[in-house]
A and B are shown apart, each in its own frame.
Chain A
Amino acid sequence: MASHGIKDQVAIVGMGCTPFGEHWDKGADDLLIDASNEAFASAGVDKETVDAYWLGTAMSGMSGMALARPLQLSGKPVTRVENFCATGAEALRNAAYAVASGAYDVAMAIGVEKVKDSGYQGLVGAAKTPTDGTGRTLTAAAMYAMCAPAYGKKYGVSDEEVREALARISVKNHYNGARNPRAQFKKEITVETVCNAPLMAGNLGVYDCSGVADGSAAAVIVRAQDAHKYTDNPIYIKALSFIAGNCSGNADPGYDYTWFPEIHASGLEAYKQAGVTDPRGQIAMAEVHDCFTPAELLIYEDLGFAERGTAWKEVIDGTFDLTGDIPVNPDGGLKSFGHPVGASGLRMVFECWTQMRREAGEQRQIKTDKRLALSHNLGGYPGEMVSFVGIYGPDLG
């Protein structure tokens, strides 16, 4: 019994991604049509060419019919998947495995979320499972807020230094988003703006939280050997790892809120699949799940981009900037690109696709001397989360 991965067995040959934002004039159906049209065109296929579909949505529709009806797919298998905020990555993973198995020649993974129809500013949970009322009522912001003081205490970093590092993450992501026409917030901000924003939970303010946006993203997937039939610049899947945590962090006093064991483990698994031995030396860029600034800080260390206890310093030194050693969230991340739950996992892959094909534009294009890009998508909270890591590259081997 072992996990083998599907390195270089499948390729992404077309992608689409709508602008993320408050689309008051578009529903989930419109967003799905927009993203799939762009992806079809990008791969030079139509909806009939695609043999099977995976739809990722956490709260904007139930069943495969949520895609089959708006696209008017006829006689196609459509699977709806959900895995919290990692729903988009889950759609990609399942579509990729279907192609790798030989079951289908062409598959589409598409993610969507229409979150701005609830009447509330933040995310409103979809699942209405009857409960005994004893569950935690804390918001996600508050759960992630607990990581900041825990990190500072463990590594002897002052509250002010942690605050500055978190603010720098937000500033960086806004800087990148300001250079991305598809981003929700295309505006640069300053450290002062972040630090003086109204508090949401703990010491986290509005600018420490990701944007709540509507949007959709899609990928067309084929076997690696067929890739050049569709595009001259395919992106090959090197690794897809996924872990659903057992929620032990909030039950086991051994967990200290300064790291995410699920992310660390899914990172190691992805590196094993892709043959990565030196993440910082081999990975050109990463899209990570910066739902709240402390998440991005801890992820740097969990994925081996920085030594434990040093990421706060590396952020301030610019390691993760567009021109840094390893640019993180060059598209603006959840923070400024926005976070339509079911679409985010595929939006991250869209940026890997764009950057590694050198299509990001002068303002935002990173160096691609290193030949791998990574996307990290999580769902849940410190102590209880699901985590996905994917690695992609333009070269076989």
Chain B
Amino acid sequence: MGAEAARQALASTDARPTAVWFATADPAYLEKTNATTIHAALRLDADVTALDTGSAVRSGVGSLLAALRSRDSILVVASDIRVGLPTGADESAQGDAAAAILVGDDTDGPVIAEYLGGAQRTEEFIDRWRTPGDPRPRQWEEKFGEVKLLPLTAEAFDAALKDAQLNVDQVDIAIVTGPHTRAVKGAAGRLGVKKVADDLASAVGQSGTAHPALLLANALEQAEPGQVIALVSLSDGVDVALFRTTDAITQYRSARPVAQQVESSADIPYGKFLMWRGMVHVEPPRRPEPDRISASVSGRSEDWKYAFVGSRDRSTGALHLPPQRVSREGGAQDEMEAAPMADVRGTIATFTIDRIAYSPSPPIVFAIVDFDGGGRLPVELCDVDADSLAMGRQVEMTFRRLFTADGIHNYFWKARPVRG
């Protein structure tokens, strides 16, 4: 999800970051940096830093504020898979999401929202916690957190207004969010801002680390020039940032706006959800589990595996997926140029449903995809309703985890039917 959000962020601008910061409370790896995977999927240069923040929900908004206060151009990616035991309040109130925000200045590219100022308040108190590996977050009695968070919010908001040299009437819209529903609701009512943004609680659910960036992205997708937006996040303290949209926002087009994604969403059966979450173990196909991938082979094919880059024969134009050294047409050797295909759409030439192959989500739907402008690949489909699938359907590529073996996640690309 983080890689997908990051791709979309960079799709809407020519600006490129000098660093990628990845924040999540549910990292795919410990020890190993997760941001490097996003770095590879985006095909960023080696001199672009990739750094994980995370473990706490607050790291998402915290990274954003830190980026806003730095002088670098930083892609902040906040992503979260929200855990919770079946039938619990966390399970129903939360949702998974990722959002990416590219922070920079006029020298990097058009700025669509200017950072005016902000403030933070921190205090140690036990409100919500989870030990590593435990799928169940726990919470102290709600009123305690509320009592702690509300005064901190008032303080931080006032300080932020002061930092930005604004008064509250100048704020057009406030985004108020945090895992503590009751405190968030109370805080939103007390800020005195004329409009409080929809917190997407019913459409997406509270997405933890990702939520502040997600709501900010949603607000910017709907904003007009000159609007002042306050981002107020309550989690182990309070973070406030104030923005004013610029004229450039009229030129801003999100690759996949939040509202559009909500609109085109589909239901998944509860049983499947529990299976994906690892809450129920289902009978796998009676086939051997896949072997772990090779680090050195993956290293050699970094551009192909992570960024979906094929090779194109300069003389004949023949496109090769995966990249080859010798051309299929004409046989020229080492006359290839890189062919980035991640953003190229394709058409389903033929497809099938495989009921016996190993998959974390059987059955696998597989298609032979012919890409616009050449190239073919047999590839797994995702986010697909097999019954409505047909030859000729358009698909787009999306970065996914295929399986995990020996603790190594096998990331590669799948195709998904183009929506709407």
Contact = CB atoms under 8 A, between A and B. Distances in A.
Interface stretch (A1-9, A38-46, A66-74, A248-256): A248-256
Interface string A25-44: 00000000000000000000
Interface string B206-240: 00000000000000000000000000000000000
Interface string B194-213: 00000000000000000000
A120 B305 contact: no
A206 to B, nearest CB: 10
B356 A146 contact: no
B350 A200 contact: no
B321 interface: yes
A138 B293 contact: no
Interface string A147-169: 00110010000000000000000
A121 B379 CA distance: 25
Which of A132, A145, A250, A252 is the most central at the interface, judged by chain B CB atoms within 10 Å of its CB? A132
Contact of A142 (B296, B354, B371, B375): B354
Contacts of A145: 352, 354
Nearest to A124: B288
A250 B367 CA distance: 11
B375 A253 contact: yes
Given A124-B288, A141-B354, A251-B328, A130 B349 contact: no
B380 A137 contact: yes
Interface hub of B320, B349, B368, B371 (most chain A Cβ within 10 A): B368
B294 A131 contact: yes
B381 to A, nearest CB: 11
Given A137-B380, A141-B354, A122 B391 contact: no
Contacts of A246: 328
Contact of B370 (A118, A120, A132, A253): A253
Contact of A132 (B297, B354, B357, B378): B297
Contacts of A124: 287-288
A197 interface: no
B406 to A, nearest CB: 12
Contacts of A103: none
Given A134-B304, A139-B356, 17 more contacts: A118-B288, A130-B297, A132-B294, A132-B298, A133-B412, A134-B322, A146-B352, A201-B352, A202-B354, A250-B377, A252-B328, A252-B376, A253-B371, A253-B374, A253-B375, A257-B349, A257-B368
Interface of B: 286-288, 290-291, 293-294, 296-298, 300-301, 304-305, 320-322, 328, 349-359, 364, 366, 368, 370-371, 374-380, 391, 402, 410-412
27 contacts: A122-B356, A130-B294, A131-B293, A131-B294, A132-B293, A132-B294, A132-B297, A132-B301, A133-B290, A133-B293, A133-B402, A133-B410, A136-B378, A138-B366, A138-B378, A139-B287, A145-B352, A145-B354, A149-B350, A201-B353, A201-B357, A250-B368, A251-B320, A252-B328, A253-B371, A257-B349, A257-B368
Interface of A: 118, 120-122, 124, 128, 130-134, 136-139, 141-143, 145-146, 149-150, 153, 199-202, 246, 248, 250-253, 255-257, 383
